[in-house]
């Protein structure tokens, strides 16, 4: 880590780790790491309410962890940043050791 990391960067990093500390968000991100999906796809696959998935995706979008695209009336979500997904996968691998 660079000695010149700003306080703003440190705070944003801490905030992002807080977002990643939620089990439902981790489940959603892990699923989106495997494939692009709609809210209903995610809800069905993870056995969650669509309102729960929508709420969590809103938070993940706010922190730039997921992105979306519109296809007709459907919206499809995918993870946004390979660095974050690599960190998440490394943590999962660490826990499973």
pLDDT digits (tens, 9 = 90+) for 47-80: 999 999 999 999 999 999 999 999 999 999 998 8
Q: In this structure, are residues 61 and 68 in contact, taking their beta carbons and an 8 Å threshold?
A: yes
Q: In this structure, are residues 42 and 48 in contact, taking their beta carbons and an 8 Å threshold?
A: yes
Q: Give the global pTM.
A: 0.86
């Amino acid at each position: 880590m660079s000695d010149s990391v700003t306080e703003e960067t440190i705070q944003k990093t801490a905030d992002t780790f807080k977002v990643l500390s939620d089990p439902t968000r981790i489940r959603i991100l892990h699923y989106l790491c495997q494939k692009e999906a709609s809210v209903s796809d995610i809800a069905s696959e993870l056995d969650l309410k669509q309102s729960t998935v929508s709420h969590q995706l809103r938070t993940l979008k706010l922190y730039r962890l997921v992105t979306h695209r519109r296809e007709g009336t459907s919206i499809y979500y995918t993870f946004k940043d390979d660095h974050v997904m690599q960190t998440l996968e490394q943590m999962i691998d660490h826990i499973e050791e």
